[in-house]
Amino acid sequence: MREFNYSAIREQKWDSDILGLVAAIYKEAGKQELYLKQKPEALEKLVEIAKVQSTEASNAIEGIVTTSTRIKQLVEEKTTPRNRDEQEIAGYRDALNIIHESFDAIPITRNYILQLHKIMYSHMNNPMAGQTKNVQNYISARYPDGHTEILFTPLAPFETPEALDRICEEYNRVIGNYEIEPLIAIPVFIHDFLCIHPFNDGNGRMSR
């Protein structure tokens, strides 16, 4: 977890299911270009539906919920947040919109990751918004009898900034050199991001 060498991905062997999925995604991406030319309105409608569903699901995983009607209104910016959960949802919406609108212009760097984290908390008072964690965090499981168990210990706070820099550098290097397929490098990057768990709060939503 403290060594990041994305060139080693080339030595991995991938089963036929994964390779088949990668091929299918590229095939559908090609169809998308055709839809953009022939039916741009239909594709835009699908994008808006996906934003609503993504926002609802990604926040619900973390226990951040509101009604489906309110989710749709918040995503479409037709209302303002009424409570803490809706503030978090609105911030997620803002970060997601920036990514949708400018994904091809956003560099993969620690500073931009911190900026997106700050945007995600822009509707609430979070003193750690846009900053890496200042306390050790843990991945734990809570069992029906009430006891908890630490399953995984992410990197310490003092290790986090450098580790974020390293995974960004490695990702940019292998993508820039056309060394690794993006659809393989991206989940590796997300895995490392979650192992680092760079923030006090919001790691899961940032990764998604």
pLDDT in tens, 143-153: 999 899 999 99
User: Do 195 and 131 have their domain in common?
Assistant: yes
Distance of alpha carbon 96 from alpha carbon 133, whole angstroms = 22
- pLDDT at position 88: 97
* 20 residue type, one letter: G
Asked if residue 12 is part of any domain, the answer here is no
Closest CA to 198 of 116, 79, 77: 116
* 131/204 same-domain check: yes
Q: Are residues 139 and 207 in the same domain?
A: yes
Asked whether residue 54 is domain-assigned, the answer is yes
207 lies in a domain? yes
Q: Over its length of 208 residues, how does the chain's per-residue pLDDT go in tens digits?
A: 678 999 999 888 888 898 899 999 988 888 878 877 888 888 889 889 999 999 999 999 999 999 999 999 999 999 999 999 999 999 999 999 999 999 999 999 999 999 999 999 999 999 999 999 999 999 999 999 989 999 999 999 999 999 999 999 999 999 999 999 999 999 999 999 999 999 999 999 999 9
Residue 3's pLDDT is what?
84
117 inside domain: no
In 3D, which of 95, 88, 97 has the Cα closest to residue 123?
88
Same domain membership, residue 208 and residue 136: yes
Clarify whether residues 67 and 143 are in a common domain.
no
**Nearest 10 degrees: Cα torsion 59, 154, 7, 115:** 50
Number of domain units in the chain: 2
Indicate whether 114 belongs to any domain.
Answer: no
pTM for this structure?
A: 0.92
Tens of pLDDT, residue by residue over 137-188, are 999 999 999 899 999 999 999 999 999 999 999 999 999 999 999 999 999 9
CB 102 within 8 A of CB 111: no
Q: Is 80 part of a structural domain of the chain? A: yes
**By residue range, what is the domain housing residue 60?**
25-106
Asked if residue 94 is part of any domain, the answer here is: yes
Is residue 153 domain-shared with residue 197, that is, in the same domain?
yes
Flag whether 15 is in a domain. no
